[in-house]
Amino acid sequence: MALREFKCVDCGESFKSGQWLGCRTIVTRRHTVQSRTFYSQFDNYHIVLRADYPIQEPGGKIMHVPALSAQFRGGTFITNDAEIQEFLDGGTERGELQTAEQYVDGRLTDKQKMQRKDSRIAEQSRLIQDLERKNVELAGGVTESGGGDAERSEGRRGRGRSAG
């Protein structure tokens, strides 16, 4: 499996999965990426990606690495952390999380869903009418610039004949 590539919005550096640290050449600074929103059917969903753990530095000093988690509030979680985004993308692919569409649909009443559907139908109808109007204008524009369709058709047929 190829490693995913990210671009840090802070330092501008490209980095691959697993290379979360090193922003602005500071080894303990995390790269940040474009914020994204993730959705859950549960209002207060908490996912622990990695529990906190101690490490021993050279010289024997114990240092604690903090946990990495995602706390959904109202069913949404926004993050600019590439490691968390990569993990949550897997949850979306496995069906543990929701798309924005699923999230909205799950929170609407039946009446709101019908209103939303009607609104979409009205918008699509409007777009179709706009396209049809533009097609008529285009067809009409050709007719107006060169006389009638019959004249243009006759002219085209006439050009192809040889005199004589």
pLDDT (tens digit per residue) in 55-97: 888 888 888 888 999 999 999 999 999 999 999 998 877 888 9
97-131 tens-digit pLDDT: 999 999 988 888 889 889 988 999 999 999 999 99
pLDDT grade for 152, boundaries at 50, 70 and 90: very low
Number of neighbouring beta carbons within 10 Å of residue 6: 21
- Kindly tell me the burial class for residue 98, based on how many C-beta atoms sit within 10 Å of its own C-beta (0-12, 13-18, 19 or more): buried
Residues 44 and 75: their CA atoms lie apart, in Å, by 6
Q: What are the domain boundaries of the chain? A: 35-107, 110-158
